[in-house]
A and B are shown apart, each in its own frame.
Chain A
Amino acid sequence: MATEIHAVRRETAAPATGRPATPDLLAFAALLLVLIAAPYVLYPVFVMKVLCFALFACAFNLLIGFAGLLSFGHAAFFGGAAYITAHTVKVWGLPPELGILLGTAFSATLGLAFGALAIRRQGIYFAMITLALSQMVFFMALQLKFTGGEDGIQAVPRGHLFGVIDLSNSLSMYYFVLAVFLFGFVVIWRTVHSPFGQVLKAIRENEPRAISLGYRTDHYKLMAFVLSATLAGLAGGTKAIVFQLATLTDVQWQMSGAVVLMTLLGGIGTLFGPVVGAALVVTLENYLAASNLPVPVVIGVIFVACVLLFRRGIVGEIAARFGGKRS
């Protein structure tokens, strides 16, 4: 029954060797150069937004692309961390790096709890459970005192990184965000190519067989879920510092949908797909915000087009076209 999504992934996923393939390394070098130069060409805050969402999408992709689990509730981790970071930095007066760390830790804990519940069911139920649990976080964010209800937490100070580097300077802020993004990206890259990542792929392809080989698949799935939630939290916490803001938008189900779209558009199960997808969606939202077109409709149309016409996503299509050499 679940054949094609796997066939697609098998074609597009990175080769199953311990060492990253050369095209991946070249692409990574190119991406790095572009990102280092970007703030001199583009508006830094815009690129920072792209980076935060790219990390968020990469974290989400770790789960769907490499473990085959579709979470529809990742906004809870992204937004939850944003609230915790914003609160600890603004009210407790913590330095930004500690605030982000606490936000990330919160998401990791939340991920452990949600993951333990959600992996008890599979497929569509998994998606519905994660969605419902994240809606619970949304209502809490709406009602609890410290989250500021409809207003969210505003005017979060950016502060000084390690007490030295002034983050109100947008270039220093940018390179800090870039470092965070690269850290997350490399963690995911290493995870995917590690023995742990291989077991995840085995579970994705054929869970009963992985079980019969003696793997405790629930442990692997839970670990992947927690890792994904943690990195999503890292992205959310960083976002709260960049925009000095944590609001209900970050925890809403539309945010979970947006990250699904970014990953789908860029290419599920590819390393660079989520980055491309995030860049496209954020750019699109920026342009649409200025125009008269209703954003959700356009996003919905892209969603439908992706699902019907190119399920491999942009990077997936490219890899499939030039992919002969890769394997």
Chain B
Amino acid sequence: MSTIFGIPPQALFGQLLLGLINGSFYALLSLGLAVIFGMLNVINFAHGALYMLGAFVAWLLLTMAGIGYWWALLLAPLVVGAFGVLLEKTLLSRLYKLDHLYGLLLTFGLALIVEGVFRHFYGVSGQPYPIPDLLRGGQNLGFMFLPNYRGWVVVASLVVCLATWYAIERTKLGAYLRAATENPVLVQAFGINVPLMITATYGFGVALAGLAGVLAAPIYQVSPLMGSNLIIVVFAVVVIGGMGSILGAVLTGYGLGLLEGLTKVFYPEASNIVVFVIMAVVLLIKPAGLFGRER
């Protein structure tokens, strides 16, 4: 077994692993987008900027206060989530009665501000973030070498995605949430505080982006632009998957990451656009998305 389809297995599995890593971030981000969209009917354009914010909070914690990775993994999502709650309370909540497109435009403006501020202070070059000691090194799996940290990212994002799915589909709070997505007025009439749930949902969705940012910090460098290019791909992922189901968003995220990795092996020039091409094909065949519902 020296080659598979004319490709050395190390290269193939290496790219597949890279695809799986990318897919982990697509899944985490599109999950957050789907949760927010379900409740607020807003596409959060600031999602990429908040992912970047999560990475930067981790980096600032390390360089300014000497607080390491594990605490950052807890603190950064909290900071980003709190920031999200603030945004929702002060700005987004004013727009719910209007056309949803205004929510998109508002969050686009917010993304420009957040990104612009960091670019002003830190430039466009990346800041390195060290891999925590516990996860240095790697495992030799026989057919490939698996760096520990990358394995951790895949496992961590899988756990977070599954936990979110469980919380929304299998718990009482999740049932309230799903009910409020279907018919907020009725749920409010039953005595449930829907505005609070909306705020909490936005905070949670955004905290997921912050968490993804911390996970990404040691792999990609921490840079102000790390979110904006990613978010457009995630939008395409969301269009492909459809925002009807949580599991759908997660599966599409991983699937497209893997597919992107495969494209890098066989036809590297197309790896940047493969997701968009798939989006076009899906739109032609099943406009509502793979897991979406026509409405």
Interface core residue of B111, B117, B273 (most chain A CB under 10 Å)? B273
Chain B residues whose CB sits within 8 angstroms of the CB of A253 once the complex forms: 228, 232
Contact A296–B279 (Cβ < 8 Å): no
Contact A139–B272 (Cβ < 8 Å): yes
Partner among A135, A294, A302 whose Cβ is within 8 Å of the Cβ of B119? A294
Partner among B43, B100, B109, B280 whose Cβ is within 8 Å of the Cβ of A300? B109
Contact B97–A299 (Cβ < 8 Å): no
Q: How many residues of A contact B (CB 8 A)?
A: 45
Q: B65 contacts the other chain (Cβ, under 8 Å)?
A: no
Residue of A nearest to B46 (CB): A300
Chain A residues whose CB sits within 8 angstroms of the CB of B232 once the complex forms: 131-132, 135, 253
Q: A304 contacts the other chain (Cβ, under 8 Å)?
A: yes
Contact B112–A257 (Cβ < 8 Å): yes
Contact B101–A123 (Cβ < 8 Å): yes
Contact B112–A5 (Cβ < 8 Å): no
A2 CA to B276 CA, complexed, in Å: 28
Contact B279–A301 (Cβ < 8 Å): no
Q: B20 contacts the other chain (Cβ, under 8 Å)?
A: no
CB distance from A89 to the nearest CB of B (A): 27
Contact B116–A136 (Cβ < 8 Å): no
A294 CA to B37 CA, complexed, in Å: 31
Contact B113–A127 (Cβ < 8 Å): no
Contact B287–A294 (Cβ < 8 Å): no
Partner among B101, B112, B228, B275 whose Cβ is within 8 Å of the Cβ of A124? B101
Contact A301–B104 (Cβ < 8 Å): no
A264 CA to B102 CA, complexed, in Å: 10
Chain B residues whose CB sits within 8 angstroms of the CB of A128 once the complex forms: 43, 235-236, 238-239
Chain B residues whose CB sits within 8 angstroms of the CB of A121 once the complex forms: 239, 283, 287
Q: B277 contacts the other chain (Cβ, under 8 Å)?
A: yes
CB distance from B240 to the nearest CB of A (A): 9
Q: Evaluate whether A308 and B94 lie within 8 angstroms (CB atoms) in the complex, with A128-B43, A128-B238, A253-B232 already known.
A: yes
Main secondary structure of the interface of B (DSSP, over half): helix
Contact A124–B284 (Cβ < 8 Å): no
A299 CA to B117 CA, complexed, in Å: 12
Contact B104–A300 (Cβ < 8 Å): no
Contact A297–B116 (Cβ < 8 Å): yes
CB distance from A35 to the nearest CB of B (A): 29
Contact A132–B235 (Cβ < 8 Å): yes
CB distance from A123 to the nearest CB of B (A): 6
Residue of A nearest to B272 (CB): A139
CB distance from B115 to the nearest CB of A (A): 6
A2 CA to B100 CA, complexed, in Å: 7
Chain B residues whose CB sits within 8 angstroms of the CB of A123 once the complex forms: 100-101
Chain A residues whose CB sits within 8 angstroms of the CB of B100 once the complex forms: 1-2, 123-124
**Chain A 1-26 interface 0/1 with B at a Cβ cutoff of 8 Å (1 = within):** 11111100000000000000000000
Contact A4–B277 (Cβ < 8 Å): no
Contact B239–A307 (Cβ < 8 Å): no
Contact A296–B105 (Cβ < 8 Å): no
A297 CA to B49 CA, complexed, in Å: 13
Contact B99–A2 (Cβ < 8 Å): yes
Contact B101–A70 (Cβ < 8 Å): yes
Q: B135 contacts the other chain (Cβ, under 8 Å)?
A: no
Contact A307–B112 (Cβ < 8 Å): no
Q: Evaluate whether A308 and B106 lie within 8 angstroms (CB atoms) in the complex, with A133-B280, A140-B273, A297-B113 already known.
A: yes
Q: Evaluate whether A297 and B276 lie within 8 angstroms (CB atoms) in the complex, with A70-B104, A128-B43, A131-B235 already known.
A: no
Partner among B43, B116, B280 whose Cβ is within 8 Å of the Cβ of A127? B43
Chain B residues whose CB sits within 8 angstroms of the CB of A257 once the complex forms: 108, 112
Which A124-166 residues sit within 8 Å CB-CB of chain B? 124-125, 127-129, 131-133, 135-136, 139-140, 142-143
CB distance from A311 to the nearest CB of B (A): 7
Q: B95 contacts the other chain (Cβ, under 8 Å)?
A: yes
CB distance from A114 to the nearest CB of B (A): 9
Contact B98–A132 (Cβ < 8 Å): no
A41 CA to B202 CA, complexed, in Å: 51
Chain A residues whose CB sits within 8 angstroms of the CB of B104 once the complex forms: 70, 72, 124, 127
Question: Can you report 16 A-B residue pairs in the complex whose CB atoms are below 8 A from each other?
Answer: A2-B99, A4-B99, A5-B101, A5-B102, A70-B104, A117-B284, A121-B287, A127-B104, A128-B239, A135-B233, A296-B112, A297-B116, A300-B109, A303-B108, A303-B112, A304-B113
Q: Which residues in B have some Cβ–Cβ distance to A below 8 Å?
A: 37, 41, 43, 91, 94-95, 97-102, 104-106, 108-117, 119-120, 228, 232-233, 235-236, 238-239, 269, 272-273, 275-277, 279-280, 283-284, 287
4 shortest A-B CB distances, which residue pairs?
A303-B109, A300-B112, A296-B116, A297-B116
